[in-house]
Amino acid sequence: MSSISRPNLPDSIGGGAPAPRAIRTSDVLGALSLACDLAVGLPAEHGLRSCLVAMRLAQRLSLPAWEQITVYYTSLLMDAGCTAWTSQIAKRMLTDEIVARRELVFHTNIRSPFQLVGWMWRFLARGAPFTTRAGRFVHFAAHGPDVMREGFHNTCEVASDLAARLGMPEEVQGALLSVFEQWDGGGFPRGLQGQNIPMPCRVVYLAAFFEVFHASGGRAGAIELTRRGRGRAFDPEAVDALLVATNEADFWQAFESDESLWPVVMSLEPENRLRWTSEEQLTDAAAALADFADMKSAYSLGHSRRVATAAEGVALRLGLSEVDVLDLRRAALTHDLGLVAVPSFVLDKPQAKLTRSEWEQVRLHPYHGERILSNVPALRGAAGLVGTHHERINGDGFPRGLKERQLPVGAQIIAVSDRFDELTHDAPDRSALAAEEALKVMEEEVGSSFSAGVFEPLKGTLGFSEAAAPSRREWPAGLTDREVEVLRLAARGLNRRETASRLFVSESTVRTHLEHIYAKIGVSSRAAATLFAVEHELLD
């Protein structure tokens, strides 16, 4: 049934009793799946329902244990790279890329010129001047497949990288590189065909689309569209097995339940050594969620990690307990997780140009972040801080308009750390301020936005009273100073021509630098290189 042979995975199968204070891996991946649902513009628990279908299908196909493990984790991580290229897509399409991408991927036959033109008319540069729209139409008509291939390549590689950081086995990492391939070779990014696509990928891809078909067309629509895709997008054997399953009453009972699917999907996790994770690994997972969110905009790369570092320093100066400091660090890392629900097109706009509805999307991001994290028992302490980090002591914050005595000290610490990082880095409507200038601005906000009780420790954490000469930093993977400069500019979204102009070198020199960088750090896409830069704190 599968085109790949069974790997040597003695440590992946089998489980055992969890260690004390162990955390369910499926809880963490389920939270990431919910964040992905928001990021791709699909209803909440799309990923969980897809996982339910995928596991039912894997069992009906009698896949071996290791392939069922791969199906389970791949299904929950399928869209983990979906933020990797959204900023670039938004720049090219000049529109809400979440909706545009969802409609293109799930509801448009890109091989039909009629459907593709209809999609272009509805989404490309909508509201822009005629000449701008015309230019975007011509470019997409000529380069659309290449743009999609590049986008999926970046998406898949970043998903695979995040899976590795979350401790997933190589089989899951590999499956995520091919999870958008189609049976007839019309998928992305490599155009694999038939048996060359690993069976877990075929199962997960079919399950995800079946869920979308059901959401838009009910049972009849899901069954009809699945039949139409048999032998085209979908593996015929997998389709036949799924259609048989739909004749069973208990299939629909679970799939269409009004209750949350979270407990059901958690119970489907195959017995294996990955079922439990540690407190330390949970913090690493929070860092992965931070990078997932920060990739929504070139302006926010590395932001959450910097905020977490500053916030932890403030907490230690205030003498918070070890437990409170840990909750605070995780909250600071994930404080902007809810921004995945906001289009990059909106995040990259100057704030003054946001429409009322766009600003409302931004204002709701603490609520979305809190809702996602609240599903993980070990992150509920952090979730409360995430939900209140944009509240202000004078009541002018959002989303609830809470005041000073209603705000946890951890939320105030995140707020002051967030504000400093925001002021000292470029934004769509202004350039970064020097640290001293930023602190002067913030002094005017003490007593209204945040209290002196968290502002003064922040100043101490930043070390302005300490005059130590900076030491030369050693870069990871043998990167040179110039290569780090090039990597930083590439991560910010500059193309080769723009990078060459900024560094006063030729485009061919930049191309050579990029080739060396990619080879040294072991990636093949800009998004994966950007993630490397963020993870290793190479951005300013």
Q: pLDDT tens digit string along 4-52? A: 334 444 445 555 556 667 899 999 999 999 999 999 999 999 999 999 9
Distance of CA 152 to CAs 89, 178, 525, 531, Å? 11, 10, 10, 16
Q: What CATH number has the domain spanning 278-462?
A: 1.10.3210.10
Q: Reduce the secondary structure of 20-83 to three states and give it as a string.
A: CCCEEHHHHHHHHHHHHHHHCCCCCCHHHHHHHHHHHHHHHCCCCHHHHHHHHHHHHHCCCCCC
Cα–Cα distance for residue pair 36/84, rounded to 1 Å = 12
pLDDT tens by residue, 503-512: 888 888 889 9
DSSP 3-state of 273: helix
199/21: higher pLDDT? 199
The pTM assigned to this predicted structure is 0.90
Q: Which of 60-69, 159-168, 256-265, 410-419 has the lowest mean pLDDT?
A: 256-265
Sign of the four-CA dihedral 165, 170, 174, 175? negative
Judged on CB neighbours under 10 Å (0-12, 13-18, 19+), 394 is: middle
Instruction: Name 203's Cβ contacts closer than 8 Å, sequence gap at least 6.
Output: 54, 57, 58, 61, 63, 71, 235, 238
pLDDT attached to residue 15:
57
pLDDT tens by residue, 505-537: 888 888 999 999 999 999 999 899 999 999 998
The yes-or-no answer to whether 23-248 and 278-462 have a common fold is yes
**Average pLDDT across the chain, whole number:** 92
> Sorting pLDDT into bands at 50, 70 and 90, what band is 166?
very high
Domain boundaries, the chain: 23-248, 278-462, 477-535
> Sorting pLDDT into bands at 50, 70 and 90, what band is 474?
confident
Cα–Cα distance for residue pair 399/391, rounded to 1 Å = 7
pLDDT attached to residue 44:
93
437/540: higher pLDDT? 437
Q: What CATH architecture is 23-248?
A: Orthogonal Bundle (1.10)
pLDDT tens by residue, 251-274: 999 899 988 899 999 999 999 988
pLDDT tens by residue, 179-188: 999 999 999 9
Q: What CATH number has the domain spanning 477-535?
A: 1.10.10.10
Cα–Cα distance for residue pair 95/125, rounded to 1 Å = 6
> Sorting pLDDT into bands at 50, 70 and 90, what band is 342?
very high
Cα–Cα distance for residue pair 438/440, rounded to 1 Å = 5
> Sorting pLDDT into bands at 50, 70 and 90, what band is 198?
very high
Mean pLDDT of 362-375: 97
> Sorting pLDDT into bands at 50, 70 and 90, what band is 465?
very low
Residue 464 has pLDDT above 70, yes or no: no
169/3: higher pLDDT? 169
Distance of CA 347 to CAs 40, 298, 462, Å? 15, 10, 27
Distance of CA 75 to CAs 125, 507, 536, Å? 33, 40, 28
Judged on CB neighbours under 10 Å (0-12, 13-18, 19+), 131 is: exposed
Q: Are 15 and 24 in contact (CB under 8 A)?
A: no
